[in-house]
Amino acid sequence: MPWNYGDILDAVADAVHPDTPAFIHNDRTIVWREATRRMNNLARALIARGAKPGDKVAFYLRNCSEYVEAVGACYRARLVHVNVNYRYKPDEVRYILDNSDAVAVIYGSEFRGTVAGIRERLPNLKTYIEVTPTGEIAPFAEPYEPLAAFGTGEKIDIRRSAEDMLFIYTGGTTGMPKGVMWRMGDLCAIWHERLRRTVGPVPQTIAGFAETIGAAGRGPISMPACPLMHGTGFITASTALLSGGTIITVETGAFDPHAIWTAVEKHKVQGMAIVGDPFAKPLLKALDDHPDRYDLSSMISMTSSGAMWSLEVKRGLLRHMPQLTMTDSFASTEAMGMGTSVMTKAGESQTGAFQLLENAIVIDENSRPVGPGSGQTGMVALGGPLPVGYYKDPEKTARTFRLIGNRVYSVPGDWARIEADGTITLLGRGSHCINTAGEKVYPEEVEEVLKTHPAVEDALVLGMPDDKWGQAVTGVVKLAPGASFDEQELRGHVRDRLAGYKVPKRIVATDSSLRAPNGKADYQSAGEAVRSVL
């Protein structure tokens, strides 16, 4: 599509009611009139410091208004967003900043020490902007607030393109993270298709789209409950921003479900983004523990991507919010929109079952389509619109983005079985598939069964080297509060529900989190937990 995020933002900012909140973080509210001025000021400040169209700006922040505000500034100035996982060690942060060719970094003051320790090894990084609650900054940095607060706030006089990009770095199963390059025109095409499926016809011009927003007076009130540095949170926040909405963020030093629900009630949040059970389970527990504490009548939708979202947890959320529509998106950074699963009080959807979307197919290991109901497993492949590829990595690009027939597909490596009715049952990412005595075991299938046991809060399953089996199916569980660990009982629980070869040979318990802050499985930590016990 010939659309650009910066052009959309300019048009929507003119259309939305100027006193509508744009950003709310804790007790601070920035209305659209002020947000527009601040984004333009920051865009000019970055340009004044030498940033040119196509240059990369790295974001090393927890969830806060400054994150989304600065993203808007980059859209207006034709600068490329680069996300940095705030859980990374210094060398990993340096890798992202170096690999992305970032010319500027916007970072939180809590990460000052890390930035100071690596900056001498980043000769191309010229601008350091520190978001600080105290006003204190590093001697090599500039404070964020004055750059956004001071200036005329006039629009940037710049010609933008649908070819302008944003990057989303995604953690690989092996090696270092990869920068997925998305063109804005392609992302807009995906966005339009999603809107067409869910709400009906969409205006075909930016002016028409902005007019629709203006007629409504405001856009959605949206909360990314997962980190903005994760694709799910980032895309959710960007979509709300480009729709003239209000973006609610909550302090995320540690995930606090009560803080989330307090903000939902206070600000009348309509939609929330999460990453599966790692977020949904604690949110549900907070409601179960205090069922009458919060007024959640404003909630219309909850969306998830990136981790399994189990049927039992969805049922629990519906007990507290019967009006909720829950959309579980089967997608990855490289393939947005492979499948979807929608659940409401009127109709359930099974864990890991998705309706394939129109550009998605299932292929075997020889890239041939797998027929519905064949019982054969295969990898899900998605046709366009697609990313350009991985930044500075043509080999990985060629492996993931493949020519099948006369069309290029993205094949991230997710294995599934396509049922007779055309739905798919997701089995897991092939890179984690366990080969035990010649049998394939997909960890997610076993993990979901383990998590149905009342003693288990979370679980991961991995293949450990074994002389007899080649790989031994091995479980790692984090127990629910107050629960006791009984390995044989857990193994029996799995045996009652799955084939014998899928039953973990050993299960160990850990007190550590099994998830990265974005909610995705941390198989490396799980492996360390196993090795420390066995």
Per-residue model confidence (pLDDT) at position 56? 98
Q: How far is CA 92 from CA 83, 88, 499, in A?
A: 12, 6, 40
CB 224 within 8 A of CB 303: no
CB 494 within 8 A of CB 504: yes
pTM of structure: 0.87
End-to-end CA distance of the chain: 54
Give the contacts of 519 (CB within 8 A, at least 6 positions apart).
Answer: 226, 230, 274, 275, 276, 278, 279, 306, 307
Q: What token pair was written down for 476?
A: 């790692």
DSSP state of 514: S
Per-residue model confidence (pLDDT) at position 475? 96
Q: Which residues of the chain have pLDDT under 70?
A: 172-175, 252, 431
CB 219 within 8 A of CB 247: no
121 vs 292: CA distance, rounded Å = 53
Q: What token pair was written down for 395?
A: 């080999």
Per-residue model confidence (pLDDT) at position 174? 46
Q: Which residue has the tokens 């292929």?
A: 363
CB 77 within 8 A of CB 71: no
* Bridge partners, 169 (sequence order): 179
Provide the Cα torsion 485, 454, 445, 463; round to 10°: -10
The candidate with the shortest Cα–Cα distance to 74, out of 105, 100, 108, 112, is 105
Per-residue model confidence (pLDDT) at position 472? 93
**436-439 contacts at long range (C-beta below 8 A, 24 or more positions apart):** 436/463, 436/466, 436/469, 436/470, 436/471, 436/472, 436/473, 436/501, 437/468, 437/469, 437/470, 437/501, 438/470, 439/501
Per-residue model confidence (pLDDT) at position 427? 82
329 vs 304: CA distance, rounded Å = 6
Cα radius of gyration rounded to whole Å, the chain: 23
363 vs 377: CA distance, rounded Å = 8
* Bridge partners, 432 (sequence order): none
At 442, the amino acid letter reads Y
357 vs 268: CA distance, rounded Å = 31
CB neighbour class for 55 (10 Å; exposed up to 12, middle 13-18, buried from 19)? buried
Give the contacts of 305 (CB within 8 A, at least 6 positions apart).
Answer: 231, 232, 275, 276, 328, 329, 330, 331
CB 230 within 8 A of CB 425: no
507 vs 311: CA distance, rounded Å = 24
Domains defined along the chain, listed by start: 5-250 (3.40.50.12780), 254-345 (3.40.50.980), 352-428 (2.30.38.10), 433-533 (3.30.300.30)
Per-residue model confidence (pLDDT) at position 442? 83
The candidate with the shortest Cα–Cα distance to 447, out of 435, 432, 436, is 432
CB 273 within 8 A of CB 303: yes
| Angle, in degrees to the nearest 10, between helices 487-495 and 443-450 | 120
CB 227 within 8 A of CB 517: yes
Per-residue model confidence (pLDDT) at position 173? 43
Q: Which residue has the tokens 């930016």?
A: 206
DSSP code string of 80-130: EEEE--TTS-HHHHHHHHHHTTEEEEEEEGGGHHHHHHHGGG-TT--EEEE
Per-residue model confidence (pLDDT) at position 175? 61
Q: Phi first, then psi: what are they for 262, rounded to 5°?
A: -60, -45
Per-residue model confidence (pLDDT) at position 386? 97
